[in-house]
Structure 1
Amino acid sequence: MGRDELAESLEHIFACVSDMIKGELQGSNTALELLEKMNLRVADKYKGYGDVACGLRVFMDQLKSKSSSFDQYIKQLDQIEQQVTELEAIISMLDKYITSLETKMKSVYHHVPNK
């Protein structure tokens, strides 16, 4: 093998190694570009989630505010329920008393002598 053949072989080897390294670098560069695009896409998606979460927080605060305004009505309803329960007890007692009076009146009219 002559000197020219050796130089050509070495030049061919260097060209092949150079092409191989360029290919690997291009593959790495493509993978990095893809990763960057994926990161941007994920960041954009999470930004949307953040906006939704912020909106939900505002909605929950509004619900909490409305809920606290209903508390006074719930207290009033509890008081009305208590009063109705007491009124039902009084009506029951009056009903028993009236029934007792009716029985006594019937008894009195039953025993009154006819003229």
Structure 2
Amino acid sequence: MEQDHLAESLNDLLTNVSTMIRGELQETNNVLELVEKMNTRVAEEYKGFGDVASGLTIFVEQLKCKSGSFDEYVQQIDTIEQQVTEFEAVISMLDKYVSLLESKVHSAYQIPPP
């Protein structure tokens, strides 16, 4: 009778350990399923980002093509800016000569400066 009680206790112990291990494995399995679903969702998000990046790459290439057609105009504007700078320098020099000439005329004819 005591052996039956010992066998029954041992059987209960093994059943409880088996149940505990099964529960732990089920919990691990649930976590792994959750991680798998999360990975799938993240992969879908990154695929969307890849699509956006591809679209942006195409858009940038189109902009480069369009901006290339403006290079000629940019060069013309740079040339005009350079000519304006040179023209301003000539005007400044002429202004100095005119002022000098006016002062000589005023002193030659003894006209008081304005």
The alignment's TM-score, normalised by the length of structure 2, stands at 0.73
RMSD after superposition: 2.9
Deviation of 1:104 (Å): 6.8
Matched letter for residue 3 of structure 2 = L
Deviation of 1:103 (Å): 6.7
Count, aligned residues: 105
Structure 1 stretch displaced more, 50-59 or 32-41:
32-41
Identity of aligned residues (%): 12
Q: 1:109 to 1:9 in 2, by over 3 A?
A: closer
Task: Specify which of 46, 53, 68 is matched with residue 46 of structure 2.
Answer: 53
1:38 aligns with 2:34: no
Matched letter for residue 42 of structure 1 = V
Task: Specify which of 35, 56, 64 is matched with residue 71 of structure 1.
Answer: 64
User: 2: CA distance between counterparts of 1:69 and 1:34?
Assistant: 53
Q: Highest CA radius of gyration, 1 or 2?
A: 1
Deviation of 1:109 (Å): 9.2
User: 2: CA distance between counterparts of 1:104 and 1:45?
Assistant: 82
1:10 aligns with 2:8: no
Matched letter for residue 73 of structure 2 = I
Deviation of 1:38 (Å): 1.2
Unpaired runs of at least 5, structure 2: 105-114
The alignment's TM-score, normalised by the length of structure 1, stands at 0.72
User: 2: CA distance between counterparts of 1:110 and 1:37?
Assistant: 100
Unpaired runs of at least 5, structure 1: 1-7
